Chain A
Amino acid sequence: EVQLVESGGGLVQPGGSLRLSCAASGFSFTTYSMSWVRQAPGKGLEWVSFISTTSGSIHYAESVKGRLTISRDNAKNSLYLQMNSLRVEDTALYYCARDCGDYSFDIWGQGTLVTVS
């Protein structure tokens, strides 16, 4: 079964740090670019960050530049999001999503909740 499972969310104070992880299974992780997308409580979707297959291309939303860092370990089939200098407005459910091409995301995890308070 193709699956993405996020972990690492939790409650953190403003200015604190968290590291999110996303474990991929059921597909060839090394051949897909990946993204993080977040959803604040009761709000819409917001794209956060993208990483290409070899980590050679990385992009961030303006709202997180300089504070969040995306990375991946293809040997471990895992995607990461290092979150530093967290703000109250970073509170959201964070999804990892597989980029299937054409700038679309075809597989999503169940999300991990980050609460900054």
Chain B
Amino acid sequence: QSALTQPASVSGSPGQSITIPCTGTSSDVGGHNYVSWYQQHPGKAPKLMIYAVSNRPSGVSSRFSGSKSGNTASLTISGLQAEDEADYYCSSYRSSSTPWVFGGGTKLTVL
């Protein structure tokens, strides 16, 4: 079964805002409010940034926000900072024999 669809890369300048889309189907992103976003720096484990579409775990900056419209979820990072440069992965619950599915990942470059 296909992974969720994310752009391979996005970029932005410090202080700007960027949005990373994550497109799925009615069986996953569109059918459930269980979309998560993870940040992964090189050589490090993933870090949970957003859960249940738009909720931030304790300790995650308010510059990170999540939303969903139809079959597409989005992660928005405002006030870009150099330390935001990382890979970002979306994940969703899927109504199938494989309940969890990840996106292919998006490399964020801060120019």
Contacts and interface: CB of A to CB of B under 8 A. Distances in A.
Contacts, number: 69
Contacts of A59: 97-99
Interface size class on chain A is 20 to 34
A105 B100 CA distance: 11
Interface residues of B, number: 28
Contact of A44 (B36, B47, B48, B104): B104
Given A44-B89, A44-B103, A62-B1, A104 B98 contact: no
Interface of B: 1, 3, 32, 34, 36, 38, 40, 45-48, 51-52, 55, 57, 89, 91-93, 97-105
Interface of A: 35, 37, 44-47, 50, 59-62, 95, 100, 102-106, 108-111
